[in-house]
Amino acid sequence: MIKFLDIQAMNEAHGTKIEEAILRVTRSGWYLRGEETRRFEADYAHYIGCRHAIGCGNGLDALRLIFRAYIEMGHLHEGDEVIVPANTYIASILAVTDNRLTPIFVEPDAQTLQIDETLIEQAITPRTRAILIVHLYGRCAYTSHIGDLCHKYNLLLIEDNAQAHGCSAPPTFPRKGDHTQSTSPQGEVVRRARTGSLGHAAGHSFYPGKNLGALGDAGCVTTDDDELATTIRALGNYGSSEKYIFHYTGYNSRIDELQAAVLAAKLPHLDADNHHRATIAELYYRGIDNPLIHLPRHVDPEHNVYHLFPIFCDERDHLQQHLKAYGIETLIHYPIPPHQQECYKEYAHLSLPITEQIHRTELSLPIGPTMSQTKVQEVIKAINDFKLKDYPRITK
């Protein structure tokens, strides 16, 4: 049996450090808004290359808090339009609509799977205020053209970095005069342009299966903007920055000390874990050779931390069945695009053929920091053995 992702093995690999962290927090008697949170926020801000990391309950909340904070700060207003990729996990869109903002769906490029930069400008209207890019599958969605459009139309650039911890922008970034050259809380200048530091603010998820995963729900916002950071911190604490004084009608969305301590213990291993993922991806790119299977464009591992390894097949469900017969677990990311979900009936009329095609044909292969090369070769062999004649019900 080849698991899609062996989360147990991933955490066992850092078992002693995680157990030490848990024991330390348990014995401390302090479980929220303490030293562990401060330390993780400082470490993560430094890693991403931003002045601030603000822990919160999960990745959806991180994005919701960003949009809500911009509303409180007067930069966004109800009904403003936010350009979003049409192919994403629904949380990206929920964060927009939950704040009564209007998502404008833009098709992805079928090769990169990221928002198609050439289609963005025509989607901009006088009501457009922001672009949300999603580094989906662990691939960098930023392009210098997107940066230029944000400058030209004075738009906020918000990143959904839930799937891309450790990913970096292509060499065209940072450009002169941009706001991303940042000083870490430790006073060190950070030059690496990681995703999560490319725009005005970014939401991160530490859901257990993510590249940096907690032992439950957790998330954070990164930003260089001091006012935004203060507003988000208050919003996530019922709307209060001073005990029992409420500036906003806020939420309770905080990272707890246990999750912060576990994440701080795992963070130093993130680059090595991502490197292992890239090695597996390289084997898949070299080994998969089947005319029925299409692979997305191969990009430099710096710009892809391989949170997922998506492949595409017109007979996706048969392929999944075939791999299951070989004992290989796969998942679909995602079977139904946001605009076709029942909760978004108002967008059901949209025709987004590239998005729909991606959702109809995508299959994610096993990949993770503890997967062995032998298992990767087993997956490759099973994929290369897939033939349509084994599935006579297929009508072409």
Residues of this chain that bind ligand PLP (CB under 6 A):
58-60, 88-89, 91-92, 134, 136, 160, 162-163, 205, 207, 217, 219
∠ at Cα 127 (125, 132), nearest 5°? 85
Pair 96, 71: CB distance under 8 Å: no
Q: How far apart are CA 229 and CA 198, in angstroms?
A: 16
Half-sphere exposure of residue 373, counting CA atoms within 13 Å on the CB side?
Answer: 7
Write the CA distances from 73 to 43, 76, 129, 196, 388, integer angstroms.
27, 8, 14, 21, 56
The smaller minimum CB distance to ligand PLP, of residues 67 and 386, is found at 67
Q: How far apart are CA 289 and CA 291, in angstroms?
A: 7
Query: Residue 363 CB, nearest distance to ligand PLP (Å)?
Result: 17
The smaller minimum CB distance to ligand PLP, of residues 163 and 182, is found at 163
The smaller minimum CB distance to ligand PLP, of residues 91 and 383, is found at 91
Residue 154 region, left (φ>0) first, then alpha (ψ -120 to 50), else beta? left
Q: By CB neighbour count within 10 A (0-12 exposed, 13-18 middle, 19+ buried), where does 306 fall? A: buried
Query: Residue 174 CB, nearest distance to ligand PLP (Å)?
Result: 23
The smaller minimum CB distance to ligand PLP, of residues 115 and 382, is found at 115
Query: Residue 385 CB, nearest distance to ligand PLP (Å)?
Result: 31
Query: Residue 351 CB, nearest distance to ligand PLP (Å)?
Result: 23
Q: DSSP characters for 247-300?
A: SS---B---BHHHHHHHHHHGGGHHHHHHHHHHHHHHHHHH---TT-B-PPP--
Nearest residue relative to ligand PLP (C-beta): 59
Pair 297, 74: CB distance under 8 Å: no
Query: Residue 331 CB, nearest distance to ligand PLP (Å)?
Result: 12
The smaller minimum CB distance to ligand PLP, of residues 66 and 162, is found at 162
Pairing label, strands 182-183, 81-85: unpaired
Query: Residue 20 CB, nearest distance to ligand PLP (Å)?
Result: 25
The smaller minimum CB distance to ligand PLP, of residues 202 and 234, is found at 202
The smaller minimum CB distance to ligand PLP, of residues 138 and 366, is found at 138
Pair 78, 100: CB distance under 8 Å: yes
Query: Residue 87 CB, nearest distance to ligand PLP (Å)?
Result: 10
**CA-based end-to-end distance of the chain:** 32
